Amino acid sequence: MTDRQLSLGDVAHYPRPGTNAPSQVAFTPDSQKVAYLQGVAGSLEQELWTYDLKSRERRQLTELVAGKMSSAGTLSLNEELQRERSRQRKLGVTNYQFVQAAEGAPFILLVPFDGRLYLMREGESLTPLPDSEGAIDAKLSHDGSHVAFVRDGELQVASTDGVGKVRTLTSGATDGVTNGLAEYIAQEEMEREAGYWWSPDGTRLAFERVDSRHIPLYPIVHQGTEHITVEEHRYPFAGARNAIVQLGIVAVDGSSDNVTWMDLGANDDIYLARVAWRPDGTLCALIQSRDQRTQQLVAFDVQSGTATTLFEEQGDPWLNLNNDLRFLNSGAFLWSSERTGFRHLSLYDATGHEVRVLTEGPWMVTGQVTLDEKQHLVYFQGTRDGAVERHLYVVSLDGGPLRRLTPEPGWHDVMIAPDCRSFVDIWQSVEQPPRLTLRSLADGEVQDLLFESEGITPDALGLCVPEITSFRTHDDVVLYAAIYASEQTRTAGQPRPLVVSVYGGPHAQSITNSWSLTVDLRAQYLAQQGFVVLKVDNRGSANRGLVFEAAIAHSMGHIEVDDQLEGVRFLANRPYVNSQRVGIYGWSYGGYMVCRALLQAPEVFVAGIAGAPVTFWEGYDTHYTERYMGSPVTNATGYKTSAVLPYAEKLASKLLLIHGMVDENVHVRHTTRLVEALTAAGQDYELALFPEARHMPRHPAYLEYLERKLVEFLRHHIEQA
């Protein structure tokens, strides 16, 4: 390994080394080109490129970041918040869409940028769409003749040929009412960013009307700016009312007077979880109950709005949402379920009856489902060959054995060509930065190298390769872990302080055989400074099956901390680890875990750093909190024993609290209420606030200050203790 040492500036800098690979990779509709976004000169500012698979020519399609094409707008608050909810750090061109009306027809390209929309027809230049300033969530119709978007809370549509005016298809938007925008809960917790959906023939738009007027306003004050501004958010707290949603259909050439409303049932306290059109033009939706234990896939008559239930699914203790619904031309469909304890695919007929199970076993289908109806094949990503890896598999719609198409150990993300003849494989591992190859779907053989980071290796960067390992808990559950320790630390014969890096929450996995594990530069910096860093995926985390995840049901912050303690005990057996000097840090759920760990095991954790922690679950949102905890009314004891606030007087370890004051996800109120409780109990703590940071600090100065503060705290309270 080289003796290169990281600086705190390196730790605070994005993008990480080796991560400037093409992103948002997609094939053009004719499967002849690969489109992708890539940072300009290693920065976060991206442009759109294509790679011609025949000529092997790369072409830059946009020059928006460079300023060669003027733009008039800036990010609206809605766009800023959407970026925050998708955890998007990238800048410049962050989205694009290609469509082709018919085979052989020219492509149309849509690029949203800086508050405006740009269009390009194949062979022509990129030009701004007139009167598109302020457009949000733009999408082309399937034939490319129209583009829809939301502006001022209303769904609007324009012709892509530039002829005619922008038409507004909905009405009634006001403070607390929007048409065509996904509500906060859908964006933040349900992985549904869309609030409208084009019909296959491009003549209709299904859209969501969201009414949040009954939800009290939650003010967020910008205290770090010259002039005070106040954002007002309608945030649905656990146990309180959600937004009321309706699902309507409007014709592209229609008006707000001609909306057909779908029948979502008599109970309006539901979640509109998924919406999709069948190839025959039938609109379908997945409707989930408030307690998330029942969901129905329904089909609507688009003329009357009448609903027909295709199937109903029930689950205990909850039903996790998925993105695996795929329709065949016959109306039959693919669906995935965790009814066996592990997520697997099944084929259903058009009436909603299960035809056959396609996958099974003690492993998970994790998504990226692609249907090749001509060949009667289904492609998907899964964990059959290990929970810390991802591979592409294929199975016949008729059932039978699976085939794995990605041979290299590690993590494979894939994009399959529309003609289902090839795929782009984005492969990475703890030793390999992302590498893109074109492969055959028939046998997985490499056909072309699209991208690799030459010369970027852990050794060249001076980084240790994290050791991925596993251990068994006292009750015989296997947990996966990663260890960061320099060679000097491992061989010096002197025990070194241990720092636990924790997230620990559901729907997340930290231990993966991926480059992102290696370029956790905070962990790497601490390892270079002589600390040992440990990560553990405790029970409650994702992709190990429902039983593993559901261990936290109705009682959070208990078994997760116990599993982290098991990790500390496991590592304490190594001669280079000093288990008497242990610290812990984490953000969001990880910040909550830090607080719980200090209160639950002060004899182990002498100091902790909690970023944006949840400190009382009644103060977090409905869909997430109630999935795991139920209602505050029916599980009052669970809410109390899972909180941090009631136990503030028991704090016996050193605690640093960090929070962004305009965080609209985990409000700074969580930290300030804890500060009040600690102060009232006469407890000591340290506090770092970022007045203009949201849930994910972005400003370089914020990030470098944060890293310096964290290291100084650990050195003072752990290394020098």
**pLDDT, tens only, 354-404:** 999 999 999 999 999 999 999 999 999 999 999 999 999 999 999 999 999
Q: Could you tell me which of 447, 389, 438 has the C-alpha nearest to residue 414? A: 438
In the structure, what pLDDT confidence band is assigned to residue 124 with cuts at 50, 70 and 90? confident
Q: Of the residues 212, 663, 670, 717, which is catalytic?
A: 663
39 or 273, higher pLDDT = 273
Statement: residue 83 has pLDDT above 70: no
Statement: residue 40 has pLDDT above 50: yes
Render pLDDT for 505-515 as a digit per residue (tens, 0 to 9). Answer: 999 999 999 99
Written as one string, the DSSP assignment of 628-689 is HH--TTTTHHHHHHT-SGGGGGG--SEEEEEEETT-SSS-THHHHHHHHHHHHTT---EEEE
In the structure, what pLDDT confidence band is assigned to residue 68 with cuts at 50, 70 and 90? very low
Angle made by CA atoms 347, 352, 356, in degrees to the nearest 5: 25
Render pLDDT for 438-458 as a digit per residue (tens, 0 to 9). Answer: 999 999 999 999 999 989 999
What tokens were used for 481? 């872990």
Statement: residue 476 has pLDDT above 50: yes
Active site residue 695: yes
**CA distance linking residue 113 with residue 98, whole number of Å:** 15
Domain 162-315 has CATH 2.140.10.30: yes
Compute the average pLDDT of residues 474-487: 97
Active site residue 141: no
**CA distance linking residue 486 with residue 465, whole number of Å:** 9
Residues sharing a CB contact under 8 Å with residue 68, sequence separation 6 or more, in sequence order: none
In the structure, what pLDDT confidence band is assigned to residue 552 with cuts at 50, 70 and 90? very high
Beta carbons within 10 angstroms of residue 472's beta carbon: 11
**CA distance linking residue 137 with residue 418, whole number of Å:** 23
Q: What is residue 82's predicted lDDT score, i.e. its pLDDT?
A: 59
Q: What is residue 44's predicted lDDT score, i.e. its pLDDT?
A: 77
Average pLDDT value for the chain: 94
**CA distance linking residue 611 with residue 686, whole number of Å:** 12
In three-state secondary structure terms, 578 is strand
In three-state secondary structure terms, 45 is strand
**CA distance linking residue 120 with residue 631, whole number of Å:** 50
Q: Of the residues 141, 212, 588, 653, which is catalytic?
A: 588
Question: Where are the chain's structural domains?
Answer: 18-134, 162-315, 322-455, 458-719
493 or 50, higher pLDDT = 50
Q: Could you tell me which of 438, 439, 392 has the C-alpha nearest to residue 411? A: 392
Beta bridge partners of 381: 367, 392
Task: Please state the three-class secondary structure of 259-281 as a single string.
Answer: CEECCCCCCCCEEEEEEEECCCC
Q: What is residue 42's predicted lDDT score, i.e. its pLDDT?
A: 67
**CA distance linking residue 296 with residue 611, whole number of Å:** 38
Q: Could you tell me which of 308, 282, 305 has the C-alpha nearest to residue 297? A: 308
In the structure, what pLDDT confidence band is assigned to residue 71 with cuts at 50, 70 and 90? very low
End-to-end alpha carbon distance in the chain? 30
Statement: residue 86 has pLDDT above 90: no
Which residue's entry shows tokens 């901390």?
Answer: 561
Topology of domain 458-719 in CATH is Rossmann fold (3.40.50)
Burial 610-643 (b: 16+ CB within 10 A, else e): bbbbbbbbbbbbbbbbbbbbbbbeebeebbeebb
**CA distance linking residue 505 with residue 557, whole number of Å:** 9
Residues sharing a CB contact under 8 Å with residue 489, sequence separation 6 or more, in sequence order: 496, 527, 530, 532, 576
**CA distance linking residue 602 with residue 587, whole number of Å:** 19
Beta carbons within 10 angstroms of residue 115's beta carbon: 17
What tokens were used for 30? 């004719």
Q: What is residue 254's predicted lDDT score, i.e. its pLDDT?
A: 87
In the structure, what pLDDT confidence band is assigned to residue 76 with cuts at 50, 70 and 90? low
Q: Could you tell me which of 337, 339, 243 has the C-alpha nearest to residue 290? A: 243
Render pLDDT for 291-332 as a digit per residue (tens, 0 to 9). Answer: 999 999 999 999 999 999 999 999 999 999 999 999 999 999
Residue 704's alpha-carbon distances to 181, 354, 362, 700, in angstroms, are: 35, 54, 43, 6
Do residues 528 and 485 lie in contact, with contact meaning Cβ atoms separated by under 8 Å?
A: no
DSSP 621: B
Angle made by CA atoms 565, 569, 575, in degrees to the nearest 5: 145
Beta bridge partners of 9: none
In the structure, what pLDDT confidence band is assigned to residue 89 with cuts at 50, 70 and 90? low
Q: Of the residues 391, 412, 659, 695, which is catalytic?
A: 695
Query: Of the given ranges (193-197, 311-315, 715-719), which has the lowest mean pLDDT?
Result: 715-719
Residues sharing a CB contact under 8 Å with residue 266, sequence separation 6 or more, in sequence order: none
Statement: residue 69 has pLDDT above 80: no
Active site residue 507: no
Q: Phi-psi category of 315—alpha, beta or left, where left has phi over 0 and alpha has psi -120 to 50?
A: beta
Compute the average pLDDT of residues 140-148: 96
101 or 491, higher pLDDT = 491
Residues sharing a CB contact under 8 Å with residue 531, sequence separation 6 or more, in sequence order: 496, 497, 498, 499, 714, 718, 719
Do residues 610 and 592 lie in contact, with contact meaning Cβ atoms separated by under 8 Å?
A: yes
**CA distance linking residue 369 with residue 374, whole number of Å:** 16
Domain 322-455 has CATH 2.120.10.30: yes
In three-state secondary structure terms, 213 is coil
Q: What is residue 70's predicted lDDT score, i.e. its pLDDT?
A: 40
In three-state secondary structure terms, 10 is helix
Q: What is residue 497's predicted lDDT score, i.e. its pLDDT?
A: 98
